A and B are shown apart, each in its own frame.
Chain A
Amino acid sequence: MTKTLKTKTPADESGLDRRSFLKGAAAAGAVTAAMTAATKVAQAAEAKAHKPEGEANQRGDAFIPRPGSDFMLDVIKSLNIDYFASNPASSFRSLHESIVNYGGNKKPEFLTCMHEESSVAIAHGYAKAAGKPMGVLCHGSVGLQHAAMAVYNAWADRVPVMMFAGNGMDANKRRPGVEWTHCVQDPAGLVRDFIKWDDQPASLQHFAESTVRAYKMAMSPPQEPVLITLDIELQEEAVEGKPSIPKLSLSAPPQADELALREAAKMLVAAQNPVIVADRCARSQQGVDALVKLAETLQAPVICTGNRMNMPSSHYLNLSESRPGLIRNADVILMLEVQDPWGILHGMGDPWKDVRRAAKPDVKVIQISLADFMMKSNYQDFQRFCPADLAISGDAQTSLAPLTAAVKREMSSTRAAELAGKADDLKKRNRDMKERVKTAAALGWDASPVSTARLSVELWNAVKNENYCLAVSDRIAWPKRLWHTTKFTNMMGGSGAAGVGYSSPGAVGIALANRDKGILTVTLQPDGDMCYAPGVLWTAAHHKIPLLWVMYNNRGYVQEIMHLQRMAGLHRRDAKTAKVGTMIYEPEVDFAKLAQSFGVWGEGPISDPGKVGPAIERALKVVKGGAPALVDVVCQLR
């Protein structure tokens, strides 16, 4: 016969178990009861402490028929979360066990990670490609501390992540030693400045409602990470009563006000040189298609910042590489979810901080953004304040179609004909722009180490006939300049906060989301970033995530070399020392061997530009077979 392991504690005996304590803490009568109970608690604990050790074995036949973590998993399954990325930890051991046994390790599947920063970055990349969040399990204190940088990246990149942090809230239930060190009074306090919402549920019903609420909030634009604390006792105690799971109903994204869109349409139709700047505008192909329609209706050139694939590079209105001239001549600029509007209109010299105006003084600025809805005070990713002539709160992707409709309503047939006449000139500008870029790419074509342009073009030639995805598309600018993009999934932007350590795990998450869609995922991987948490190579190998890493191995943190050079010049000292503390050499890291040691196919290092293409072809065969591969290419520094 089995019995439920619901060990009575001194607190239970006093009628003050953890849940009733939490529920009753606000009641005035509880204070007196607690004080009375305190004596009993102390006496009982004292008595328990002196029991012979053998007595503990009397509970060897005790079991928990349905732990709270099973119900938690039911809640998680109701949200259709496919994966949990995690480095294992005792504070969520019960949920971990529920995932692999009660849930059969399917939907969600547990992804074994080797660093919490990798867990979150995997979830970050996955959400951008999958269009929905992944779960992340973290140890409440130390795990969340490891994860923090990656959470900030996801925050700055406006990406939903469902974070869960294990923690023991009831000090009376903590084992002495490490469990105390790893428990925290307010786990979310560590990351609250850069998550959208958090809660610390005190009951299973509370967990169900808060988890569904957290998912709903994470998915509502502006999309952001959220955090639910998992109480150890709540996971490990048996389910009491019949907690229910609320139905998930996602909120429709907020569309901009119709009257405001009409005003914007009037300004855009009347403009002689309108320009559209798109930052984190599109979340899906729907956003890309909607932006194409607006741009074509206005015959307005589009500048993409590169954080999302908003506008196909193959479209003649994508003139991102002509940004300075377009901004300089614009009379109306429409900014779509632009994180740094001031930075579009201005430049700033370094180190003298001299401001250089990039646009006309009287340029009219229209902003459509949800920026006002996600600002917090402490972290400054909201950028410098930039006044607008027309500021519209609304989700840009959702607002594009009604804006296009408003533009069409405001446009006379005469004006439409005038705008159509601009197309030939814009097409010529696009062709000229591409020729300039190709000419620039040819410089240093046969250089060794390999030029970043050559590296990008060799990779392009290997994937150009595939349904491809460049997972991290902001570390080298050449693909944005040269590659043909037509789909939202072709390029997935960068980290968000420029926190080093995203690129490799972020790419793994993107490749995981793409695996079931038949999309071939490749990435240009900086060496410094790979060195942050290379264990993600093993995660990719273990879970058979097909991803091709092509190392952009410049053997250093090169941006910092430039900073040191600049400082040395200003200080009238020797710039030769700029390599100290910035270069990764003597010894050089052998990334092919590193990959192989984690079970990933690896080749390199390659310094001969003529050998890059064939190596990539060999690696792609491995990736197409369903496994990850890495090609280490020693590159020019920039």
Chain B
Amino acid sequence: MRRLAVAAAALLCASAVLAQDAPKGSAERGKKLFVDLNCYSCHGTQGQGGGRNSEPPIPLGYPFAGFVNQMRKPRLDMPAYEEKLVSAQEIADIYAYFSSIKAAPAAKDIPQLKGL
């Protein structure tokens, strides 16, 4: 998890400019693709990650270049998604879906988490 966080932070810093260069995608198509490709099995429908082991969350604001790189040549145990299976436009759609997700409420603002 720590390695993922470090990698994500590095990508955020290095690719901030590239994030602005993300091609236009359809969040609606991206949401469907996210389910069809079974991305949600590990990452959850909102990129929140999982609770069984350490299925990684996808940080909001993840830069597009890093997003593409992780899909094409993934780190750790994630399978690769080649161009012939997931096109550049489809990646842009998935990225658009992620960019449309609202940030979760802060833990301190969730009544059920108080006292834990």
Contact = CB atoms under 8 A, between A and B. Distances in A.
Interface of A: 324-325, 349-350, 434-435, 438-447, 449, 451-454, 456-458, 460-461, 464, 475-478, 482-484, 558-559, 561-562, 565-566, 568-570, 572-576, 578-579, 613, 636-638
B51 A449 contact: no
A324 B4 CA distance: 13
A565 B49 CA distance: 16
A540 B107 CA distance: 37
Contacts of A460: 112, 116
Contacts of A445: 104-105, 110
A350 to B, nearest CB: 6
Given A445-B104, A578-B38, A638 B44 contact: yes
B81 to A, nearest CB: 7
B20 interface: no
Interface stretch (B7-15, B52-60, B61-69): B52-60
Given A445-B104, A477-B52, A451 B44 contact: yes
Contact of A443 (B36, B41, B81, B104): B104
B107 A565 contact: no
Given A350-B77, A444-B104, A575-B79, A637 B50 contact: yes
Contacts of A439: 106-107
B79 A452 contact: no
Interface size on B, as a range, is 35 or more
A447 B46 contact: yes
Nearest to A569: B79
Nearest to A635: B51
A566 B77 contact: yes
B85 interface: yes
Given A442-B113, A569-B81, A447 B48 contact: yes
Nearest to B79: A569
B80 interface: yes
Nearest to B45: A447
A434 B113 CA distance: 11
A483 B115 CA distance: 10
Given A451-B51, A575-B38, A438 B107 contact: yes
B21 interface: no
Contact of B52 (A349, A447, A452, A613): A452
Interface string B94-116: 00000000001111001011011
Contacts of A457: 112-113, 116
Contacts of A476: 51-52
A444 B49 CA distance: 9
A447 B44 contact: yes
Contacts of B16: none
A438 B116 CA distance: 8
A568 B55 CA distance: 19
A210 to B, nearest CB: 43
A440 B79 CA distance: 24
Contacts of B107: 435, 438-439, 441-442
Contact of B38 (A435, A438, A482, A576): A576
20 contacts: A439-B107, A440-B57, A442-B104, A442-B110, A444-B45, A445-B104, A452-B52, A456-B51, A475-B52, A477-B52, A483-B116, A569-B79, A569-B81, A573-B85, A575-B37, A575-B38, A613-B112, A636-B44, A636-B50, A638-B51
Given A561-B41, A562-B41, 5 more contacts: A440-B57, A442-B104, A444-B45, A447-B45, A477-B51
B112 A636 contact: no
B72 to A, nearest CB: 11
Contacts of B24: none
Nearest to B60: A443
Nearest to A439: B107
Nearest to A558: B41
Contacts of A562: 41-42
A1 to B, nearest CB: 69
A285 B49 CA distance: 34
A570 B113 contact: no
A572 B41 contact: no
Given A350-B77, A565-B41, A576-B37, A441 B52 contact: no
A576 B49 CA distance: 19
B28 interface: no
A637 B37 contact: no
A464 B114 CA distance: 12
Given A439-B107, A447-B45, A636-B45, A576 B116 contact: no
A576 B36 contact: yes
A440 B106 CA distance: 10
B38 A579 contact: yes
A457 B113 CA distance: 7
Nearest to B54: A477
Contacts of B78: 569
B82 A572 contact: yes
Contacts of A438: 107, 113, 116
Given A451-B44, A475-B52, A569-B81, A443 B57 contact: yes
B112 to A, nearest CB: 5
Contacts of A613: 112
B34 to A, nearest CB: 11
Nearest to A638: B50
Given A452-B50, A637-B44, A434 B116 contact: yes
Among A456, A476, A638, the most chain B Cβ lie within 10 Å of the Cβ of A638
Given A438-B107, A452-B52, A476-B51, A638 B112 contact: no
A119 to B, nearest CB: 28
A442 B42 contact: no
A443 B107 CA distance: 9
B114 to A, nearest CB: 9
